Amino acid sequence: MKRISTESSPGRKKLSETEFKKRVFAYTAILPVILIFGFVRIVPIFQNFLYSFFQSTIGNPLQQFIGFTNFKDLFADDLFVLSLRNTTYFAVFVTLFSVAFAVLLAALLSTRSKASALYETIYFLPVITPMVPVAVVWKWIYDPTYGLLNYVLSWVGIEPIGWLVFPNTAMVAIIIMSVWKIVGYNMIIFLVGMRDIPESYIEAARIDGASTMQVFWRIIMPLLRPIMLFVLVISTINSYNVFTQVFIMTSGPQGAPGNAVRTIVFDIYENAFRYFRTGYAAAEAVVLFLIILALTLLQFGISGNKERRDKRRLLRKGGLV
Amino acid sequence: MKNYSGKPLVILKHLSLLLGASIMVLPFIWMLSTSLKPPHEVLSWPPQLIPNTVTIQNYVTVFATAPFARFFVNSVLMASLSTVAILITSSVAGYVFAKFNFPLKSFLFILTLSTAMVPLEVYMIPLYMSMVKMGWVNKFIGLIAPYLIMSYGIFFMRQNIMASIPDELLDAARIDGASEWRIFLSVVFPMLGGPIGAISIFAFQQTWAAFIWPLIITSSRELWTMELGLGMFQYRFTVDLGPINAGSMLSIIPVLIMFLLMRKKIIQGITLTGMKG
């Protein structure tokens, strides 16, 4: 053991009084924040993994260790497989349509003007609005008898459709509503990307005789690739978490048939908080987590590779490799 | 040549933007219009975008027949306390991560940041069980507990402090004999106006819109928030469409006002942070 002394001991730098005070402050200031983080996030995230390997009873999530049984049961459970399929379907279509519309809108709005600022605000409106009220009003728009949508469709001679009544149309209806909700967010991100592209690139291409379409596909789109990847991944992740609009639109007499639009989070919610199958629901949450993790890694992986490739190309150009 | 090919395209562009914009605002107008209609007009056919008679009766009903005043107060309390808490935790942690060195610093920073990618839905079950253990189920503290911190808030504060507050300033204050807390409160905090504004907006918006957590953690109506109350009343109880749309309007208005007042800042901030976690 080293002798503890008040004089400066050799080999170990003693903190000066200011440094010591700084250290004390840093620890005392960060400690409460870390504790809250631990309590409401970090510990629960780890506990969720633990729960997923246990059989649970009401009040005791850790009744008995059962290994991977919950996971095996999950994939034999029609309702879970259905919710996984529904959610994937939902995520793919919401992402595709919201990204496609967002790119189109961003392309139309990329030149700054008074009008474009107004349009940005309007298209962004649904993004900042809470989900419940807009889901409520959309449910009313989809109403088969009095709904606004069927009325508009009647102008072109389409017979009234029970949008939320039938399984096929219910999913379509919720997808449309969700695209409407997030398209503005994606649009803003693309706009930032497009406005960052130097004007000279586009002018140079124009001088070389490129058409508007060529400029868009050959110059703008390739330059947007990293942003595209980011938006695709974020939209897919958020779509996998879909719950609120499904809960609102499937509830009550006007609501959609439950299972047709049953999603993963909805299934987790029912299993955990209606049937109290905590371990089972935790296993579902693990599956959801793995999907999100895979998507996140995909994004980091692709953009990481790209950076490495670019760096290598740069080095080669400079004759360094 | 440009004049010939350009004109129809420009018209087409404006037409499609206009069409898109009307689809974006139509649900809001429909909500507002329904909320101002008397009962017999709500279910009129063909649907009318502009009410024949405008009445605020639905707004009176929504407060009289359902405890929406209570829900509104709960939402305001929850969102504002959460905003204050997030501002405090984010600025303190952001400052420490930006300006201090200590063992485990990067580990703690990465730990707080990486949890941002895990949505509440993934860990809500164990979180709920912890609340059961603490006796916080169906209590305000349980309702607000997950909304006291925000990973991006910390990250955003750290970036801003690193960029805008020079070390020399802090050292000068130390030489003058100010204590570390004093430096934080009277030197650092007053310089954080920009990020404080941006983070408040996200925090408020995020907590105000919360749905699944209030749904599982509360059991008595006294604790319901605006979102939960609306979600429940739209099917469980017989409240007509008029009042429900009035309630929806009320739940949108605070966020809407904030957005229209601080549009630029919100859009900028959202593109920077991703508005999550």
> What does the DSSP assignment read for B223-254?
G--HHHHHHHHTTSS---HHHHHHHHHHHHHH
pLDDT for A321: 35
Hey, which residues does A54 pair with through a beta bridge? A65
Span B264-270, mean pLDDT?
A: 70
Residues A317, B123: Cα–Cα separation, whole Å: 48
Burial code (b: 16+ CB inside 10 Å, e: under 16) for A28-63 equals ebbeebbebbebbbbebbebbeebbbbbbeeeebbe
For tokens 């630029």, name the residue: B264
Residues B43 and B20 in one domain: yes
Cross-chain CB nearest to A272 (options B125, B149, B245): B125
pLDDT for A210: 87
CB contact under 8 A, A123 and B20: yes
Q: How does pLDDT run across B17-74, given as a tens digit for each residue?
A: 999 999 999 999 999 999 999 888 888 778 888 888 888 988 998 888 778 899 999 9
CB contact under 8 A, B234 and A139: yes
Cross-chain CB nearest to B209 (options A108, A130, A136): A130
A278-317 and A225-240 helices cross at what angle (nearest 10)? 180
Residues B139, B129: Cα–Cα separation, whole Å: 14
Q: What is the ipTM of this complex?
A: 0.91
SS3 state of residue A54? strand
Interface residue A128 vs chain B (CB under 8 A):
yes
Res B92 pLDDT > 90: yes
Residues B77, B73: Cα–Cα separation, whole Å: 6
Interface residue A157 vs chain B (CB under 8 A):
no
Enclosing H/E stretch for A56: strand A54-57
Residues B142 and B123 in one domain: yes
- Determine phi and psi for A13, rounding to 5 degrees: -80, 125
Tell me the chain A residues in contact with residue B108 when contact means C-beta distances shorter than 8 Å. 30, 34
CA neighbours closer than 13 Å in the CB half-sphere of residue A315: 8
B261 or B169, greater pLDDT: B169
Residues B155 and B218 in one domain: yes
Q: How many residues does chain A have?
A: 321
Residues B238 and B145 in one domain: yes
CB contact under 8 A, B117 and A296: yes
Res B227 pLDDT > 90: yes
Parse chain A into domains and list their residue ranges: 17-52, 77-308
Query: Which of A57, A113, A129 is most worth mutating to test chain B (most B CB atoms within 10 A of its CB)?
Result: A129
Cα of first residue to Cα of last residue in chain A, in angstroms, is: 52
SS3 state of residue B110? helix
Q: Return the structure tokens found at A96.
A: 């595709």
Q: Return the structure tokens found at B214.
A: 């209030």
CB contact under 8 A, A48 and B122: yes
Cα of first residue to Cα of last residue in chain B, in angstroms, is: 51
Residues B92 and B175 in one domain: yes
Is the separation of the CB atoms in B123 and A37 below 8 Å?
A: no
Residues A162, A159: Cα–Cα separation, whole Å: 10
Residues B134 and B14 in one domain: no
Tell me the chain A residues in contact with residue B252 when contact means C-beta distances shorter than 8 Å. 129-130, 133
- Determine phi and psi for B209, rounding to 5 degrees: -85, -5
Among B55, B72, B99, give the residue marking a domain's end.
Answer: B55
Q: How does pLDDT run across A51-61, given as a tens digit for each residue?
A: 999 998 877 88
Cross-chain CB nearest to B270 (options A188, A244, A248): A188
SS3 state of residue B128? helix
- Select from A139, A146, A136, A147 the least CA-distant residue to A164: A139
Residues B85 and B199 in one domain: yes
**Chain A nearest C-alpha distance from B247 (Å):** 8
Enclosing H/E stretch for A309: helix A278-317
Interface residue A47 vs chain B (CB under 8 A):
yes
Show Cβ contacts of residue B27 under 8 Å, excluding neighbours closer than 6 positions. A126, A134, A137, A138, A141, A180
Least confident residue range of A249-263, B48-62, B98-112, B164-178:
A249-263
Span A95-112, mean pLDDT?
A: 93
Res B213 pLDDT > 80: yes
Residues B139 and B3 in one domain: no
Q: What is the CATH number of the domain that holds B261?
A: 1.10.3720.10
CB contact under 8 A, B92 and A278: no
Res A191 pLDDT > 70: yes
pLDDT-derived band at B267, boundaries 50, 70, 90: confident
Span A98-127, mean pLDDT?
A: 91
Residues B2 and B96 in one domain: no
CA angle, residues B202, B251, B127, in degrees to nearest 5: 55
Interface residue A269 vs chain B (CB under 8 A):
yes
Write out the residue range of the structural domain in which residue B13 sits.
1-55
Q: What total of structural domains would you count in chain B?
A: 2
pLDDT for A8: 45
Residues A131, A174: Cα–Cα separation, whole Å: 12
For tokens 């991977």, name the residue: A68
Residues A211, A214: Cα–Cα separation, whole Å: 5
Residues B18, B24: Cα–Cα separation, whole Å: 10
Say which CATH superfamily domain A77-308 falls into: MetI-like (1.10.3720.10)
Burial class (CB in 10 A: 0-12, 13-18, 19+), B208: buried
Res A12 pLDDT > 80: no
Taking a contact as any Cβ pair under 8 Å apart, which residues of chain A between 57 and 86 contact chain B?
59, 61
A224 or B272, greater pLDDT: A224
Neighbours of B265 (CB within 10 A): 15
Query: Which of B123, B241, B249 is most worth mutating to test chain A (most A CB atoms within 10 A of its CB)?
Result: B123
CA angle, residues B267, B271, B276, in degrees to nearest 5: 100
Span B93-117, mean pLDDT?
A: 92
Query: Which of B99, B121, B167 is most worth mutating to test chain A (most A CB atoms within 10 A of its CB)?
Result: B121
Q: What is the DSSP string of B167-205?
A: HHHHHHHHHTT--HHHHIIIIIGGGGHHHHHHHHHHHHH
pLDDT for B171: 92
Residues A191, A107: Cα–Cα separation, whole Å: 8
Cross-chain CB nearest to B122 (options A133, A243, A288): A288
Residues B14, B18: Cα–Cα separation, whole Å: 6
pLDDT-derived band at A36, boundaries 50, 70, 90: very high
Cross-chain CB nearest to B122 (options A45, A122, A126): A45
Residues B187, B136: Cα–Cα separation, whole Å: 37
For residue B25, give the chain A residue with the closest CA. A122
Q: Return the structure tokens found at A284.
A: 């579902």
Cross-chain CB nearest to A146 (options B26, B47, B174): B47
Residues A283, A69: Cα–Cα separation, whole Å: 10
Residues B179 and B136 in one domain: yes
Taking a contact as any Cβ pair under 8 Å apart, which residues of chain A between 97 and 116 contact chain B?
101, 105, 108-109
pLDDT-derived band at B202, boundaries 50, 70, 90: confident
Query: Distances from the Cα of A304 to the Cαs of A295, A300, B249, in angstroms?
Result: 14, 6, 45
**Chain A nearest C-alpha distance from B173 (Å):** 12
Residues A116, A108: Cα–Cα separation, whole Å: 9
pLDDT-derived band at B195, boundaries 50, 70, 90: confident
Residues B152 and B225 in one domain: yes
Res B186 pLDDT > 90: yes
Q: How many residues does chain B have?
A: 277
Is the separation of the CB atoms in A129 and A238 below 8 Å?
A: no
Tell me the chain B residues in contact with residue A47 when contact means C-beta distances shorter than 8 Å. 123, 126, 129
pLDDT for A10: 47
For residue B41, give the chain A residue with the closest CA. A146
CB contact under 8 A, B31 and A253: no
CA angle, residues A278, A280, A285, in degrees to nearest 5: 90
Hey, which residues does A60 pair with through a beta bridge? A57
Residues B162 and B66 in one domain: yes
